[in-house]
Amino acid sequence: MANTAPYVEIVKEHLTLFPDAPSRTIAKMIVEKYPHFNVENVRRSIRYYRGNNGIKSKEKAMRNNPQFIRPWDGNFAVKPVNISTEDYIFNQSKPLILSDIHLPYHDIDAISVALEKGYKDGIDSIYLNGDILDFYQASRFTKDGGAMSVKEERDMFWEFIGWIKSNFSVPIYFKAGNHEERLEKYVNEKSPELAQLPELNLKNFLKLDEHKITYIEGRQKAIMGKLIVVHGHEFGESIFSPVNPARGLFLRAKSSTLAGHNHQTSEHHENNLRNDSMACFSTGCLCQLTPKYRPFAYTKWNHGFGIVEIDGDGSFEVNNYRIIDGKVR
């Protein structure tokens, strides 16, 4: 009478006893003991457990051998670590979008023009879309002497928020950009043992809850009706395009999206074969246009901001403004 010991256990037992023997040799040894097995099926199973088979070979082995038990069958108790991010659903209808202020390297006149336009147009919220602080001292670049400290930048940010609140009584939203992410990267690299301290989390470090500011994480996207708003660094690569940043943004987002990051005002409109209308926008910056590290930045960069109007059905209108000679264009 044939031995009916479990097939998989037999294969694994012989692999343990003869780890260096050729697969066919082990297969023949097994078939000698269990003649109701097929040499080629046993050999395929041995190769599978040794990791010698490709995906197609594994599938073929399973099809040809009804006794074959897949090692991934059964319960896997270990839960995965969740690294995904959820979208932020934005509920205001007319936000003023400011990005790339880069405190303390801001342009006070450009910021004033943007805020004045927002005030006159009756905006209902202010959305700070990343790189509001520069965090120069936490960057990987060689530092210039006399640069403002991280603490001094934070104090200036609080002063900036106080200035806004003295003129507006609307909700304020803060989206982390790549420059704000410098802080966490610096702590992780220089002192990882401190990285888990809640005080060094960007939201807590800037005391956003205390200032009643809603925080949107660096890798989250904000959903403003049918428009998606990001800072621009979330793709993990540049959104530069030979045409303009908005065109590059469209090629990566494939949907109606607005971003800052590139310090340049641009738009790109395109329809798909379903005749869905899509539009992408990049907003200008509110920082200085002649920094030491790039004194001719003004040949590409420009001052600007956006005001978005969102209807109840999710449709939207983006007023993507430039600031030229102190005036909104």
Q: Which of 26-30, 174-178, 182-186, 241-245 has the lowest mean pLDDT?
A: 241-245
Cα dist from 109 to 259, 286, 304, whole Å = 22, 9, 12
Most confident of 24-33, 133-142, 153-162, 188-197: 153-162
Write the DSSP string, 99-128: ----BTSB-HHHHHHHHHHHHHTT-SEEEE
**195 confidence band (pLDDT: 50, 70, 90):** confident
Looking at this protein, which amino acid is placed at residue 274?
R
Q: Which one has a higher pLDDT value, 95 or 196?
A: 95
pLDDT digits (tens, 9 = 90+) for 269-327: 999 899 999 999 999 999 999 998 899 999 999 999 999 999 999 999 999 999 999 99
Output the pLDDT for position 131. 97
Q: Which of 1-5, 12-16, 151-155 has the lowest mean pLDDT?
A: 1-5
Most confident of 10-14, 28-32, 36-40, 255-259: 255-259
The average pLDDT across 50-67 equals: 59
Report, at the CATH architecture level, how domain 88-328 is classified: 4-Layer Sandwich (3.60)
Burial pattern 31-68, b for ≥16 Cβ within 10 A else e, equals beeeeebeeebbbbbbbbeeeebeeeebeebbeebeeb
CA nearest to 216, candidates 58, 55, 99 = 99
Is 80 exceeded by the pLDDT of residue 142?
A: no
